[in-house]
């Protein structure tokens, strides 16, 4: 068996929330980027089809009719992919989850500092921890699932300059868990 203190548990949960916050932020950016790319591609294809159709209407040849039809067909495929994937809705959902996780992350940070400063006793800290865990569960009931790739992207991404390194105690606690 292992011994896990309240402080260890809070730190581990805080680390998990930090990781999920980053993953949802990156998923929101990725979905938004894909949505913009698909809309841009669709606009270019429709523009090309329109130009080719105008040329064909003025009798510039059978080739322009074929080009217009091919570009319109490709635009339809891109539109169907865009409608099926619904990247914009996913981006908004991940961004909302990220914002909620940020608030929860800061509340965990405040709980950790209050506990460290001795402002809270263990009983009150446990009550607040349980409330935060309930909020964490409620956030995830309304959130789209992350893919494994989203978590891998967090691990591969460079750490922002304003993100502090984990405390030695957090690293030691995580190592004890392994």
Number of domains present in the structure of the chain = 1
> Each residue of 68-85: pLDDT tens digit?
999 999 999 999 999 999
H/E stretch holding 7 reads helix 6-57
Q: What angle do CA 53, 56, 59 make, to 5 degrees?
A: 155
List the domain range (segments joined by +) for residue 128. 6-147+168-177
Residue 153 lies in a domain: no
Rounded Cα gap, residues 86 and 68, in angstroms: 26
pTM as predicted: 0.71
Buried b or exposed e, range 63-92, using 16+ CB within 10 angstroms: ebeebbeebbebbeebbeebeeeebbebbe
Residue 124 lies in a domain: yes
Residue 158 lies in a domain: no
- pLDDT for res 158: 45
> Each residue of 3-44: pLDDT tens digit?
788 888 899 999 999 999 999 999 999 999 999 999 999 999
Residue 50 lies in a domain: yes
């Amino acid at each position: 068996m292992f011994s896990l203190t309240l402080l260890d548990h809070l730190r581990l949960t805080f680390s998990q929330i930090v990781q999920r916050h980053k993953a949802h932020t990156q998923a929101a950016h990725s979905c938004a980027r894909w949505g913009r790319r698909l809309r841009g591609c669709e606009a270019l294809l429709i523009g090309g089809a329109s130009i080719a159709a105008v040329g064909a209407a003025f009798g510039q040849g059978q080739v322009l009719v074929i080009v217009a039809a091919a570009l319109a067909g490709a635009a339809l495929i891109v539109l169907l992919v865009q409608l099926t994937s619904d990247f914009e809705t996913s981006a908004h959902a991940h961004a909302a989850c990220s914002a909620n996780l940020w608030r929860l992350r800061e509340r965990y940070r405040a709980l950790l500092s209050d506990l460290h400063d001795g402002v809270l006793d263990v009983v009150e800290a446990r009550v607040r921890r349980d409330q935060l865990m309930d909020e964490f569960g409620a956030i995830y009931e309304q959130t789209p699932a992350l893919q494994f790739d989203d978590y891998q992207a967090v691990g591969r991404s460079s750490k922002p300059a304003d993100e502090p390194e984990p405390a030695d105690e957090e690293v030691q606690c995580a190592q004890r868990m392994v």
